[in-house]
Amino acid sequence: MKPSLAKGTRDFTSLEVSRRKYIINILQKNFELFGFQPLETPSFENLSTLTGKYGEEGDRLIFKILNSSINEAKEDKKTQMLNDFQKALDKPFSAESLTDKALRYDLTVPFARFVAMNHGKLTFPYKRYQIQPVWRADRPQKGRFREFYQCDADVVGSESLWQEVDLVQLYLKSFAELKVSVTIHINNRKILSGLAEYAGITDKLIDFTVALDKLDKIGKDGVVKELLERNISQESIDKLDFLFNQSNDALENLLQLKEKFAGNEIGLKGVEELEFVITQSLNLGVNIQNLVFDITLARGLDYYTGAIFEVKADEAQMGSIGGGGRYDNLTEVFGVKNIPGIGISFGLDRIYLVMEELNLFPEEATSNVEYLFANFGGEETSEALKLIIQLREKGISAELYPESAKINKQFTYAEKKGIKNLVFLGEEEVKNNTVTFKNLEAGEQKTVSLEEFLNL
């Protein structure tokens, strides 16, 4: 059988794993600096937990898991079970009747489920971060995979807009440390609701936001075409034409909205919230160039209720490398009310691709062995292992070439693995309590005392 990968998945080499770990370590450090605590949830959830939370298009991308009773049955038994299902339902066979679980689509909904199940034990506001893979039955392309990692930070139990301000700081600090120049695009779902009311399409809010969310992919003409296909009138579209001609001044655009939203309560509330977040972020030293009010930003997930974020790299074409928003009603679907929440996500896989493209990974992001000990056989090998143990206790990576082979072969192994130093602990070195090593990058060879070597 010819080996192959499942579509939309990847293997990661040691170099890739080390670099991904470098990104994760920076994010994890900042999550904890900002007061977030770690959490992990299962890879799969009950299907009912996930469906109905991501909108029509999102629901179609959920990876469903075949019921184990069917999955484990023999072929003839499977056929009989499917026939029994069809008879029992007395209607055309439906795949949904065969599955009640699914791989998680994101980390937010499972987090909301966790909060709903444990709200009596949590201290609010509860801040958690989560770094785990998610799965989507999407069409694979550059920067879009079927299995990928999300790195989320969420706060639940607080309606304070200072949470939004703090999350802007978390984004900017983390990307600054990764040396990725970014722009945070920000909007508010209340503004979008206000726009729908202004255009007389309140009953078409979801259709409106789903189409608008595709602006960067299909352009104005594509959005207008989709709005028409979703039975939104040309008259309403004409009223919204100003959306596509915004100035670069966020506060000026908000002022224009205030005029259009006269008497529009939800729209004015969204403007007020967004104005607070932008103004306070600027007061904290955020450059207005890094925080852009994007009135066409919609983010198609149905559960957002307030601020919405999307982060884009300034120097690479990669789509969003982060996003999130406020979701004040998500736990209600699990029977627990009055737990508002807000969260952001870092797209690990896309951040990796951006950093790779821009050559931003430092040398320390590569996990290479510091010392390879040549194997001369006999007593010298035993002495080499004793020294290796001492190095490892000091936190220095070292390994012994496993066989007593020709020295050229051991050299080649070290060079191919990117090992920095080749150590020779031969008969003379053991007798004299010395160590000879060669720096393979500089080509320099030294003989030093055993004590000096251990304190290099």
Residue 38: its pLDDT value, please? 98
Instruction: Compute the average pLDDT of residues 366-381.
Output: 90
3-class DSSP assignment, residue 340: coil
Residues 287 and 406 in one domain: no
Residues 6+ apart with CB under 8 A from 260: 198, 242, 267
Does residue 271 sit within a domain? Answer: yes
Q: Is residue 71 very low, low, confident or very high in pLDDT (cuts 50, 70, 90)?
A: low
pLDDT in tens, 44-70: 999 999 988 887 778 899 999 887 655
Examine the fold and report which residue of 357, 392, 416 is the final residue of a domain before the chain moves on: 357
Residues 179 and 255 in one domain: yes
Check pLDDT > 50 for residue 93. no
Residues 20 and 115 in one domain: yes
Does residue 100 sit within a domain? Answer: no
Residues 395 and 352 in one domain: no
Residues 113 and 190 in one domain: yes
Residue 205: its pLDDT value, please? 81
Check pLDDT > 50 for residue 89. no
Check pLDDT > 60 for residue 363. yes
Domain count, the chain: 2
Does residue 381 sit within a domain? Answer: yes
Residues 162 and 302 in one domain: yes
Residues 353 and 375 in one domain: no
**Host H or E run for residue 206:** helix 205-212
Instruction: Compute the average pLDDT of residues 291-311.
Output: 86
Residue 97: its pLDDT value, please? 53
Does residue 47 sit within a domain? Answer: no
Binding-site residue numbers are 106-108, 136, 150, 154, 299, 303-304
Q: Are 181 and 321 in contact (CB under 8 A)?
A: no
> How much is the CA Rg of the chain, to the nearest whole Å?
28
Does residue 446 sit within a domain? Answer: yes
State the residue for tokens 């931003």.
360
Examine the fold and report which residue of 326, 357, 388 is the final residue of a domain before the chain moves on: 357
Residues 379 and 313 in one domain: no
Binding-site residue numbers for L-histidine are 106-108, 136, 150, 154, 299, 303-304
Residues 285 and 391 in one domain: no
Does residue 81 sit within a domain? Answer: no
Q: Is residue 413 very low, low, confident or very high in pLDDT (cuts 50, 70, 90)?
A: very high
Residues 187 and 292 in one domain: yes
More confident site: 366 or 324: 324
* Burial class for 389, CB neighbours closer than 10 Å (0-12, 13-18, 19+): exposed
Domain of 379, CATH number, reads 3.40.50.800
Residue 208: its pLDDT value, please? 85
Q: Does the global pTM surpass 0.75? A: yes
3-class DSSP assignment, residue 137: coil
One-letter amino acid for residue 404 of the chain? S
pLDDT in tens, 319-334: 899 999 999 888 998 9
Check pLDDT > 60 for residue 92. no
Examine the fold and report which residue of 357, 386, 405 is the final residue of a domain before the chain moves on: 357
Domain of 157, CATH number, reads 3.30.930.10
Instruction: Compute the average pLDDT of residues 259-276.
Output: 93
3-class DSSP assignment, residue 194: helix
Q: What percent of the chain has pLDDT over 90?
A: 63
Q: How does the average pLDDT of the chain come out, rounded?
A: 89
Residues 398 and 338 in one domain: no
One-letter amino acid for residue 39 of the chain? L
Does residue 322 sit within a domain? Answer: yes
One-letter amino acid for residue 147 of the chain? E
More confident site: 93 or 335: 335
Residues 443 and 296 in one domain: no
Does residue 3 sit within a domain? Answer: no
- Measured distance CA(277)–CA(292) in Å, rounded: 11
In this structure, of 110-119, 195-204, 385-394, 431-440, the range with the lowest mean pLDDT score is 195-204
User: Domain range for residue 117?
Assistant: 14-41+105-357
Q: Is residue 241 very low, low, confident or very high in pLDDT (cuts 50, 70, 90)?
A: confident
